[in-house]
Chain A
Amino acid sequence: MVAIKQISIFMENKPGSLARVAKTLSGGGVNIRALTVAEAGDFGVIRMVVDDTAKGYQVLRDGGFTVSETDVLAVELKDVPGGLYEIAKTLGESNINMDYAYAFVTAKAERALLIVRVDDLNGAVEVLQKAGIAIATRQEVQNI
């Protein structure tokens, strides 16, 4: 399976929330690959992809955070105009909905990855692969 695990954390929307998360991960020696914060008024959800998901999940749980793991895809994004369009079009034409997405550029800046959560994971993998769009595996994300 090419899906990777994303960690989501429930946070109250107040000063210092993100700092507590970051401190906990840093204490556990977990490196953040990509991160996004979604806010909804008084609370928010921090979503992130880390190098070692199992360890990240554990240190956050032990730190008293409300954590969940979600299957997402790390889709390779060509660093040219129209890169995002290609992915979005492919999924849209197959009637696959993106719940949310966020992108990051890899450390070596060789490629960009789009983390995307879809309502039909298997369908998305199939149509993306058929369209010749690469999807990074867990191993690849870990080794970035």
Chain B
Amino acid sequence: MFRYWNPHIERMPVDDLHKLQEDRLRSLVRFVYAHSSFYRDRFRETGVEPDDIKQLSDVTKLPFTQKIDLRNTYPTGMFCLPGDWVVRYHVSSGTTGKPTVVGYTQGDIDMWTDSLARALTSIGLGRGDVIQVGYGYGLFTGGLGLHYGAEKIGATVLPIGAGNTERQIELMQDLGSTAIACTPSYFLYINEVAQNMGISIRDDTKLKVGVFGAEPWSNETRKRIEEATGIKAYDIFGTSEMSGPLFTECHLQNGIHVWADLFLIEAVDPDTDEQVADGERGELVVTSLDKWAFPLIRFRLGDLTIIDHEPCECGRTHPRILRILGRTDDMIVVRGINVFPSQVESVLMRIPEVGDHYQIIVDRKGPLDVMTVEVEVTEQVFSDKIADLMTLSNRISKELRNVLNITAEVNLVEPGSIPRSMGKAKRVIDKRQV
């Protein structure tokens, strides 16, 4: 049932993989230097030349790049091939600044598709599966990325996109979807709507796999989804700069396999910029090894994670990134303490009485930051006694304090009152910036 898409590459001995990475890194460095004034300038500022890159460890000699570089060179200043090579653009929403544009040659699209074909195969999907793509289509990379990956492995694609929740559920039943790809928060909402329609995803649909990403989510949420709906929930990762969604966990659900022939990954300490060891938390930095219209050199993603280079029990030799803990730009600082929404989520989802949806509100009262966590009271636990509700609220607050080392106010709110999202959920409302 669990097979390889490309066993030769996926199980390649580690030494051979490194050799392949080394060759590709050397070619890449020459390529960007020859084709892009942006990279030539950046290399010169850093005092590095293509010939300095002889082995894999020389990657640390290369300059970092980051999102701000993309914005400063808007729209296509970091592209390394002229426009007539580009077969497609994707554009990020630009909610946090100017939009960013990424471009692909046909080969880049094929690389992206192949990466997802390996990933989807590793979670047991293939011919005979019906994959409901509930990510947005269009400028967002999620929908089209999954679409081509799913077609490549011979599965049937249901390109419904995000939203239209009742229709999602009807078509899931009528066309027998066996897998769905969307944000985890949207899937929780789909499940909620299905229940209101009197439909059990577990008993009344053929759904068995969820491919969830585009927002950070915790293991506790995974457990909830799996227990509530009987499906297997897999984490998918990739950013628009890297192409879009590219990698998933394998069926063992033990870290996301990052194909080393396609991307070189490092974890660096965000303060010192030094590489951190396997098992230590660092900011994910990626270098593309087979992507040409818009290659990446040591691009800082801002995602915090832990890398594990040990080959996986599934036989794949490529490094894994353990769950994305959050992005440096998602982090909120409350009274000087760093808080990731995903930490709050993992505390909340461990408490069975807490509903699936939550929101974090940070405000300033006088000189003090106040963090309020809103959670919905589910009917199953609603007690007529105020004391029981106070106990619940105190318990949540205490658990949050244990994990985050910060006092949070807990507001119990009515079910359905926290906004549901069809795409990336908005978990944090920071009123201090207004």
Contacts and interface: CB of A to CB of B under 8 A. Distances in A.
Contacts of B378: 66
Interface string B366-404: 000000000001110011111001100000000000000
A72 B342 CA distance: 42
Contacts of B384: 6, 8, 45, 47, 68, 70, 117
Given A10-B377, A40-B389, A64 B415 contact: yes
Contact of A66 (B390, B411, B414): B414
A66 B386 contact: no
B416 interface: yes
Nearest to A117: B384
B386 A12 contact: no
B379 A68 contact: yes
A73 to B, nearest CB: 14
Contacts of B386: 38, 40, 45
Given A10-B382, A70-B384, A64 B416 contact: yes
Contact of B379 (A43, A45, A47, A66): A66
Interface residues of A, number: 20
B415 A43 contact: no
B417 interface: yes
Contacts of B385: 99
B17 interface: no
A12 B374 CA distance: 11
Specify the main secondary structure of chain A where it touches its partner.
Answer: strand
B41 to A, nearest CB: 55
A43 B411 contact: yes
Contacts of A61: 379
A12 B414 contact: yes
Contact of A45 (B389, B411, B413, B415): B389
A42 B412 CA distance: 8
Contact of A10 (B390, B411, B414): B414
A61 B378 CA distance: 12
A8 B382 CA distance: 9
Which of B382, B383, B416 has the most chain A CB atoms inside 10 A of its CB? Answer: B382
A68 B382 contact: yes
A11 interface: yes
A6 B384 CA distance: 10
Interface string A1-34: 0000010101110000000000000000000000
Nearest to A71: B384
A43 B390 CA distance: 10
A118 B162 CA distance: 50
Interface string A60-100: 01001111101000000000000000000000000000010
A40 B220 CA distance: 30
Given A68-B384, A70-B384, A43 B389 contact: yes
A135 to B, nearest CB: 20
A42 B411 contact: yes
A41 to B, nearest CB: 9
Contacts of A11: 414
A43 B385 CA distance: 12
A8 B413 CA distance: 15
Contact of A43 (B383, B413, B416): B413
Contacts of B414: 10-12, 64-66
A65 B415 CA distance: 8
Interface string B406-424: 0000011111110000000
Given A12-B417, A43-B411, A43-B413, A67 B379 contact: yes
Given A38-B386, A42-B411, A67-B379, 11 more contacts: A6-B384, A8-B382, A12-B414, A12-B417, A42-B412, A43-B377, A43-B412, A45-B384, A66-B377, A66-B414, A117-B384
Interface of B: 377-379, 382-386, 389-390, 411-417
Ranked nearest first, the 10 interchain pairs of A and B with the lowest CB-CB distance are A8-B384, A70-B384, A66-B382, A40-B386, A42-B411, A43-B412, A10-B382, A66-B379, A68-B382, A10-B377
